[in-house]
Amino acid sequence: MQLDMFNAFRDSAGHSGVIFYYHGELSDNVIATMGDALKSRLGQEGNLGPKGRKIFSSYIEMAQNALHYAPASADGRKIGAVTVGRGKEGEYFIICGNVVLKEHVERIREKLESLRTMTLDEIRKAYREQLRNEHHEEDTISRGAGLGFLTVARDASGPIEYAFGEEPENAGLAHFYLKAII
């Protein structure tokens, strides 16, 4: 990257409210390290209370979702991107992106559409029910028993947003993007 391109990237991120951005290999250690950096940044902005906890919780759930469900690349790495930013009204946004197997797209879409139509009370009730559910063999794909999307939806100030995009280099994959406003 040339220096003038980096300057344009930095300016664009700043104008978009981005306070934290990462793209690259994901692992538990990377997520924890990024979490420490995010907590520090939120502390600098005076957001270590309930709002900061919601931002951090949503960040963790979204980053872990990318880690757990992104298929490994040819060299065994799991790649994802996450950004946290502040909007003009003082709200924060968290966006996560990664690739998923196309065969899982409809399943993910159904889960998210269901959440988008629920009230906050319904989301909280579904969360409590999922905590009590044993999840033995009902969902062999979801490692977290489906709590991640419920956690993000519970913490968000409005419906979570999502999108899927084509992966031109591999027809069996799709890009998956998830956004929450806190």
Query: Which residues on adjacent β-strands are paired with residue 60?
Result: none
Confidence label for 147 from pLDDT (cuts 50, 70 and 90): confident
pLDDT, residue 182, reads 95
pLDDT, residue 95, reads 97
Q: Across all residues in the chain, what is the average pLDDT?
A: 89
Residues 6+ apart with CB under 8 A from 180: 58, 62, 93, 94, 152, 153, 155, 156, 160, 161
Q: Of 103, 126, 115, which Cα lies nearest the Cα of 156?
A: 115
What residue segments make up the domains of the chain, in order of their start? 3-181
Architecture of the structural domain at 3-181: 2-Layer Sandwich (3.30)
Q: How far apart are CA 3 and CA 173, in angstroms?
A: 33
pLDDT tens digits along 104-136:
999 999 999 999 999 999 999 998 888 887 654
Q: How far apart are CA 41 and CA 95, in angstroms?
A: 17
